[in-house]
Chains A and B, each alone.
Chain A
Amino acid sequence: MSQAIAFWVFALLLVVSALGVVFMKNVFHSALALIAALLMMAGLFITLNAEFLAMAQIIIYVGAIAVIILLAIMLTPGLSSANRPNRLVLPMLLLCAVFGGVLVISFTRTAWQSLPAPTSMDTSTLAVEMFGENGFYPVLGIAGLLILATIVGVIAILRGK
């Protein structure tokens, strides 16, 4: 019951702030709405028994990605402040409405065979999944390599001539 209430509150605020990201006139306000949407997503993760992911979401998305976006908005003044649509608004609105409608219909028409009782899971199960036998730890090395390549690439792009 309390999970349903939390879901509806977070879902409503999430949709409102996601619409704010797209439709706010000022880009800075869009970024603030993005932060709100990411926080609501962390709340939804908590309702799904994914507490570690919720904290990682807050630290990585709100703490790092949103701050980088705000920094980029600060460093591109003047012309960057307007969030204007391009010429394709109406066709794209139609396209996205059709796409979302098809997704919703296919999600509701599918007979999901859910588990009889949701199995208990917590952060230690996730840790076993990541670092245990047959875990994901080789992929973690690749992820570290990806971050290294990102750092080198960003320095190479922004170093100047």
Chain B
Amino acid sequence: MLGHYLILSAILFSIGLFGALSRRNGVVILMSIELMLNAANLALVSFSKYLVSQPVSGQAFVLFILVVAAAEVTVALAIVMEIYRSHQTIDVTNVDLMKW
């Protein structure tokens, strides 16, 4: 059963990675990053159920990942709003002010 959960986590991570690398919209990229974080959470929780002797330290890690994800998405969406205010777009291929 552990293998099933890990394979599901790998599939979910790959979908999120593809979304983060291949989309233009900044908000969609953020949502794909959320998918990747969730895949890591799933792997941690399934490891903590099936593999380790101290059964809940994986769940404690997942709680902190939740906190970091909330902070990350809040700051990133604030940056997206600021980019929209200054560029009238959130297409990340058009935001190339610092590109050499």
Q: Which residues of A contact B (CB under 8 A)?
A: 3-4, 7, 11, 14-15, 18-19, 21-22, 27, 30-31, 34, 37-38, 41, 44-45, 48-50, 52-53, 56-57, 60-61, 64-65, 68-69, 72-73, 75-76, 79-80, 82-86, 88-89, 92-93, 95-97, 99-100, 103-104, 107-108, 112-115, 118-119, 121, 125-126, 129-130, 136, 139, 143, 146-147, 149-150, 153-154, 157-158
Contacts and interface: CB of A to CB of B under 8 A. Distances in A.
A18 B21 CA distance: 15
A83 B23 contact: yes
Contacts of B77: 68-69, 72
Given A48-B46, A83-B25, A157 B79 contact: yes
A80 B1 CA distance: 41
B10 A95 contact: no
B14 A100 contact: yes
B27 A57 contact: no
A103 B7 CA distance: 8
Contacts of A68: 73-74, 77
A76 B87 CA distance: 11
A57 B37 CA distance: 12
Contacts of B95: none
A150 B3 contact: no
Contact of A22 (B3, B28, B66, B73): B28
A66 B25 CA distance: 16
Contacts, number: 220
28 contacts: A15-B11, A15-B12, A15-B15, A18-B12, A18-B15, A50-B59, A53-B41, A53-B59, A56-B63, A60-B70, A64-B70, A65-B69, A69-B73, A69-B77, A72-B77, A76-B80, A76-B81, A86-B23, A92-B18, A93-B18, A96-B17, A107-B7, A108-B3, A115-B50, A118-B49, A121-B55, A129-B57, A157-B75
Contacts of A37: 35, 38
A86 B35 contact: no
Nearest to A68: B77
Contacts of B7: 104, 107-108
